[in-house]
Amino acid sequence: MKRLIPRLLLAPAVATLFLWMIVPLVMTLYFSVIRYNLLQPDVTGFAGLENFEYFVTDPSFATSVVNTLLLLGSVIAITVLLGVAVALLINEPFAGRGLVRVLLISPFFVMPTVNALMWKNMMMNPIYGVLAQVWAFFGAPPVDWLTDFPLLSVIIMVSWQWLPFATLIFMTALQSMDREQLEAARMDGASYGQQLRYLYIPHLGRSVAVVVMIELIFLLSIFAEIFTTTGGGPGDASTNVAFLIFKQALLNFDAGVASAGALFAVVLANIAAIFLIRMVGKNLDK
Amino acid sequence: MKFRLATVFAAGLMAAGLAQAATELVIATVNNGHMIEMQKLSKNFEAANPDIKLKWVTLEEGVLRQRVTTDIATKGGQFDIMTIGMYEAPIWGKKGWLQELKTDAAYDANDLLPAIRSALTVGGKLYAAPFYGESSMLMYRKDLADKAGVKVPENPTWPQIADLAKKIHNPPNTYGICLRGKPGWGDNMAFLSTLVNTYGGQWFDMGWKPQLESKPWKDAITFYVDLLKNYGPPGSSANSFNEILALTNSGKCGMWIDATIAASFVSDPKQSKVADQMAFAQAPTAVTPKGANWLWSWNLAIPAGSQKVDAAQKFVTWATSKEYIQLVAKTNGWANVPTGTRKSTYASPEFQKAARFAAAELKAIESANPTDSTLPKSPYVGVQFAAIPEFQAIGIAVGQQMSAALAGKTTVDAALKASQVAAEREMKKAGYYK
Amino acid sequence: MARQSTYTPAYAVRTVAAWAVALLLFFPLGWLLLTAFKTELQAISVPPLFLFEPTLENFHEVQSRSDYLHYAWNSVVTSVASTLIGLAIAAPAAYAMAFHKGKRDKDILMWMLSTKMMPAVGALVPIYVLAQKSQLLDTQLALIIVFTLSNLPIMVWMLYSSFKEIPHEILEAARMDGATLWQEATRVLLPLGMGGLASTGLLCLVLSWNEAFWSLNLTAAKGGTLATLIASYSSPEGLFWAKLSAASLMAIAPIVVFGWFSQKQLVQGLTFGAVK
């Protein structure tokens, strides 16, 4: 009986998620094997693997997969490394700590489309953007971010938006560290580097896993930023898998191919997740 | 606790809504200045028709299109009146998704500009009422042209424009010419389609085969890439209307070819530093004047099977009537009326006086013909687009390649080849040919 | 406890460094803030203006053009409701997994997360059709359901993570003292887990608040949230950055204010947890 109650607690979450997942998933599976284009309601019938074939033979397909993984990897790396650094920096008290925390967290509250527009027009524009002015101040020619470094520009925008999230999680984790252990180590004369290595970093293991997994989920479906700033270009330099799905779903209105693409994205995500879990997931079980 | 409160509140609101006897119309619209004006002035309509209440949903163009298309295709019934472009109207009209608009003599449908009206008519039936129309034209800095000793004719040619760009190119103060480069069927491809048209090209031949590797395409795109590389501003491959508007208004562009509505912005001293120096001419031509300037309109349409056809029709005819234009003129002045729809607007002397660009704009719109915009005969309707459902996806794929060529990431030939492959792929899948 | 003087050189260095980093990271947002008070012409000027005469015209425009309060209210209702419901479902699940290990917990967690991995844009048509058939288009309820279910996996994951930090000896001790499940949960777990609950709740609140894709596609005039409001400001033809900045500011303001107050709660809850 004692074992049963806790498992019952698990039930609502599992049940709702199951329903939530099953119905759209089944529908998506169904759509992916039929011909279903919103603009051609008279074209119906079983399509077999046609939709999948069409999706993966898109000329930009290979590039989009690479770009997706690059985007994922870069943003995760940047936000985790910088997030830990910033969290460590503000871990100890200093003047105006509360205000600094709010300043650091606020970029996360900005809506992604606004974020994208802001970076494109106010910061990165090579003529009237702020970054161009800074470059000019130092006598260097302004960098044409969106033309020459499209994927990097998107990575910068997205990292900026997600860094506060990582910082918040790490901040929370650091605050829950055992103070006495830290004091003891310090009094024993441990250097900051040693403290980092033996106390801080191990403690952050689980939070890093959380941040990585959550960012993985969200970063996979990023396309608003790409659509607003570079339109996937120049060429397909900043096209990712979500953009390809978007092209099929909301430009072609081909729900069949879009569903096939969505399923492919799930497979890709699971592969990436398994890979990442191997790297950081051991901390799940600690 | 908050949730319970919220549900009670929500239930109360719903009950209140049900109690009203008035017909409620949900209008989906795009957020350009004229539409926003219409929203403000719709109080006049509500006052004159107390049994009709209006609810507005304003969205950005791309999102609007996705939203209304999804809704009308799945018969979602979310919107009673939809703002659609000249691209959707013929496609949806042919599919029978739109309600035919019946107008009376007072509305004077013959006053509508013929080019626009014909683009919205399928099988003799009018399916959408134009609210605002535009073409494209050349806007240039007269002071810079004078200084360079060049007089820009009313119908310039592209070689002349290239020459002028070279003369007035003076970075970083002014760049010779600014043109769209951001990938998108309605962004860079809108302009490039007209460029290809005037070089004698077309999107699809009569057998629906894409023509993207033909000589006119090659000539046009090579010219475009060279022109912007030499005399254009940095960042062109991500620039669309708004970015170039900002550049022109702050004096950075010597010339700009884009939508006629831009003329009203760049000559408005409240938002443009160079308002008084801007002059206007027709879009440049090369091999042929056909299709050199585009045609576009935003229109109001009613989904077929709507339960509120009468009320919706009332609003649609009100918003696109001569009286509405008079209303806007009275409230905001003639310079701010929605243009590009009726002959009577252009005939009005007050409008001509208030809008310096009126004559050029009318000439541009009247010279555009969506059914005959290419030198070789084409199977599609549309000047800067092909009114087929596949065009959006093709347009963005090609647009991406053109942007890459402009950014120097690929050669023009490679870009055109990749575009041809992408276009053929979509057309084959859609079953136009095997 | 004897401590050295708080104002050491290390303190000063840390203050300067922290402020420098914070200001640098905040700069783009600060720029957005400034732009909200400029005219459209000032917003695009080169070089960018730092000093200018501020104007409130953009805020007036936003207020008069769109029904800010209506959209804000929808945002509040959908975000708060979905967060609370989500927490109510997720917390017990996380508790069960953290303290009563089952054999398949890891698999369940991974499966929960993988339900989120499908890009929303791919599932648009199925969900739209579902919503339409259940007559939930353009309602707050539709958004509440979608948000709750979207955030549920994340909530379970994060709460599980933070509950794992709590040493289970404390809970066992309470149990041995004869506490019922309910008492164990409210008297012991809740205070210790407050930090985790708070940060999870805040994260999901923000995610729901900023959620634009479903808001734009499933709602129109009645159920629209602030995301819909913002979307109405990026105009295809016409300058809009100053207005968009003002609209964004008005959209961010409630949640930033909330964040500012709740971060004090966060800290309280956290230090509570650290004191053993």
pLDDT in tens, A62-72: 999 999 999 99
Cβ of C231 within 8 Å of Cβ of B74? The answer is no
- Cβ distance C125 to B67 less than 8 Å, yes or no, reads no
Amino acid at B430: A
Q: What is the mean pLDDT of residues C129-158?
A: 86
Which phi and psi (to 5°) does residue A92 adopt? Answer: -90, 155
The H helix count followed by the E strand count for chain A is 14, 0
pLDDT of amino acid C270: 47
C176 touches chain A (CB under 8 A): no
- Residues of A within 8 A of C32 (CB-CB) are 110, 114, 118, 122
Query: A108 to chain C nearest CA, in Å?
Result: 8
Q: Is the pLDDT of residue C187 over 90?
A: no
Give the up-direction half-sphere exposure of residue B253: CA atoms within 13 A in the CB hemisphere: 31
- Residues of chain C with C-beta less than 8 angstroms from the C-beta of A108: 206
Cβ–Cβ < 8 Å for A280, A205: yes
Residue C271 pLDDT: 47
Give the closest of A160, A172, A284 to C106, CB-based: A284
The domain covering A24-285 belongs, at the CATH homologous superfamily level, to MetI-like (1.10.3720.10)
Confidence of residue C273 (pLDDT cuts 50, 70, 90): very low
Beta carbons within 8 Å of C81's beta carbon, 6+ residues apart: B2, B3, B6, C140, C144, C148
User: What DSSP designation does B251 have?
Assistant: T
CB-CB under 8 Å, A102 with C259: yes
B-chain residues near C45 (CB < 8 A)? 250
Map out the domains of chain C with their CATH numbers: 66-232 (1.10.3720.10)
Q: Comparing C-alpha atoms, which of B50, B72, B68 is closest to residue B59? A: B68
A143 in contact with C, Cβ within 8 Å: no
Burial label for C252, CB within 10 Å (0-12, 13-18, 19+), is buried
Of B74, B262, B270, the CB nearest to C132: B74
Of the partner residues B74, B182, B250, the one whose CB lies closest to the CB of residue A231: B182
Nearest CA in chain B to C214: B67
A38 and chain C in contact, CB less than 8 A:
yes
CA distance C219 to chain A (A): 17
Other beta carbons within 10 Å of B374: 23
Q: How many CB pairs under 8 A join A and C?
A: 278
Chain B CB contacts of C129 under 8 Å are 74
Q: At what angle do helices B391-406 and B412-429 cross, to 10 degrees?
A: 170
DSSP A199: I
Nearest to A246 by CA among B63, C133, C147: B63
Q: What is the DSSP letter of B177?
A: -
The helix-helix angle for A4-32 and A255-280 (nearest 10°) equals 140
Q: Where are the domains of chain A?
A: 24-285
The larger pLDDT score, comparing residue C154 to residue C7, is at C154
**Res. A279: pLDDT tops 80:** no
What confidence tens digit (pLDDT) does each residue in A238-269 have?
A: 899 988 888 888 888 888 898 899 888 888 88
Look at residues C236, C238, C193 and name the one whose alpha carbon lies nearest to residue C95.
Answer: C193
Decide: helix, strand or coil at residue A1.
coil
Predicted pLDDT at A24: 77
Q: Measured between CB atoms, which of C84, C138, C220 is closest to B2?
A: C84
Q: Which residue in A24, A119, A172 is closest to C127 by CB distance?
A: A24
For chain A, positions 121-160, list CB contacts with chain B under 8 A.
121, 125-128, 142, 144, 146-148
| Sign of the Cα pseudo-torsion (C114, C116, C119, C121, in order) | positive
The reply to whether B249 touches chain C by the CB within 8 Å rule is: yes
Bridge partners, B342 (sequence order): B112
Taking CA atoms, A89 is separated from A159, A165, B30, C150, C196, in Å, by 19, 16, 47, 33, 21
**Is B70's CB within 8 Å of C240's CB?**
no
Q: What digits encode the pLDDT tens for the residues B392-407?
A: 999 999 999 999 999 9
Touching subunits for chain C (3+ Cβ pairs under 8 A): A, B
Contact: C237, B242; criterion CB under 8 Å: yes
Under 8 Å CB-to-CB from B2, ≥6 apart: which residues? Answer: C80, C81, C84
Asked if pLDDT for residue A284 goes beyond 50, the answer is no
For each of the domains in chain B, give its residue range(s) and CATH number, in order of start: 19-134+295-354 (3.40.190.10), 135-294+370-429 (3.40.190.10)
pLDDT of residue C267: 55
**CB neighbourhood size of B70 (10 A):** 22
> Tens digits of per-residue pLDDT, C76-111?
999 999 999 999 888 888 887 777 776 677 777 777
- Cα separation, B253 vs B249, in Å, equals 8
Q: How far apart are CA A286 and CA C109, in angstroms?
A: 15
Instruction: Judge whether residue C174 has pLDDT over 90.
Output: no
More confident site: A2 or A207: A207
Q: How many other CB atoms are found less than 10 A from the CB of residue B145?
A: 19
pLDDT for A76 beyond 90: yes
Mean of all residue pLDDT scores within chain A = 83
Q: Distance between CA atoms of B370 and B383, rounded to whole angstroms? A: 5
Q: Which ranges of chain B have pLDDT less than 70? A: 1-21
Cβ burial, residue A273 (10 Å; 0-12/13-18/19+) = buried
pLDDT of residue B76: 81
Q: What is the model's pLDDT at position C1?
A: 42
Q: Around Cβ C192, how many Cβ atoms within 10 Å? A: 22
Round the CA-based radius of gyration of chain A to a whole number and report it.
Answer: 23
Please identify which residue in the block is written with the tokens 């001509």.
B352
Interface test with A, best of C25, C192, C264, C275 (most A CBs within 10 A): C25
Q: Are A55 and A254 in contact (CB under 8 A)?
A: no
Residues of C in Cβ contact (< 8 Å) with B28: 220
- Each residue of A119-162: pLDDT tens digit? 888 888 888 888 888 888 888 888 888 888 899 999 999 999 99
CB atoms within 10 A of CB C103: 7
Please answer whether residues A135 and C251 qualify as being in contact, where contact means their C-beta atoms are separated by less than 8 angstroms.
no
